[in-house]
């Protein structure tokens, strides 16, 4: 009987481990032209001034699409030139230098949200699509940022802004 109970408990623990494993991946495709692979813990959200947003318990994602038609000749800009524009637009937040991380053009900064008196850290990436540049910002509370950064990079590497 003891062996049976031990076997039953081991089987139950195995079932719990399998069901409590990594969250399942989910592909989000926007009619605006962006596809990103996240996890099922993300939900679409809306924040004024952003093209697309996603929220999860630990990471928020803010996406801005800037069509080439916004500025004459914008389609001729390189990704590096566009990244410099975005970096300059965020200069008041004292961002880090523009770098390349795992093939991503990016920079980081911290921002104090005065509404909830909380520091948030941002991992900002830029992409060039067929008809627009995209800024995709991954954000978490600063005290959770280091533990979320690898996840943010993984999500950023899944971004696709090309047309079919």
H or E segment to which residue 146 belongs: helix 142-157
Which of 6-15, 97-106, 111-120 is modeled with the greatest confidence?
97-106
**3-class secondary-structure state, position 79:** helix
- Per the DSSP assignment, residues forming a β-bridge with 106 are 99, 125
Q: What DSSP state is assigned to residue 49?
A: T
* Res 23: pLDDT: 79
pLDDT band of 8, cuts 50, 70, 90: very low
* Res 71: pLDDT: 86
pLDDT above 80: residue 16 = no
Place of tokens 């009987």: 1
pLDDT above 50: residue 7 = no
The domain locations on the chain are 23-157
**CA 28/CA 32 separation, integer angstroms:** 11
- The reported pTM is 0.84
* Res 10: pLDDT: 44
The CATH number, out of the four listed (3.40.1380.10, 3.40.1000.10, 2.30.30.230, 3.30.1300.30), of the domain defined by the range 23-157:
3.40.1000.10
Taking only the tens place, the pLDDT of each residue in 106-151 is 999 999 988 889 999 999 999 999 999 999 999 999 999 999 999 9
**CA 164/CA 130 separation, integer angstroms:** 10
pLDDT above 90: residue 102 = yes
* Res 22: pLDDT: 66
């Amino acid at each position: 009987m003891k062996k049976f109970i031990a076997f039953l408990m081991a089987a139950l623990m195995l079932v719990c481990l399998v069901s409590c494993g990594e969250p399942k991946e989910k592909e989000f495709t926007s009619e605006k032209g962006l596809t990103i692979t996240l996890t099922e813990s993300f939900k679409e959200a809306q924040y004024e001034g952003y093209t697309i947003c996603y929220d999860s318990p630990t990471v928020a994602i803010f996406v801005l699409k800037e069509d080439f038609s916004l500025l004459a000749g914008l389609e001729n800009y390189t990704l590096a030139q566009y990244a410099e524009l975005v970096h300059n637009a965020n200069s008041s937040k004292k961002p880090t230098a523009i770098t390349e991380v795992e093939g991503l053009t990016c920079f980081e900064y911290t921002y104090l949200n005065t509404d909830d008196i909380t520091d948030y850290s941002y991992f900002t990436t830029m992409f060039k699509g067929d008809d627009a540049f995209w800024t995709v910002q991954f954000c978490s509370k600063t005290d959770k940022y280091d533990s979320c950064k690898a996840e943010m990079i993984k999500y950023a590497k899944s971004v696709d802004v090309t047309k079919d």
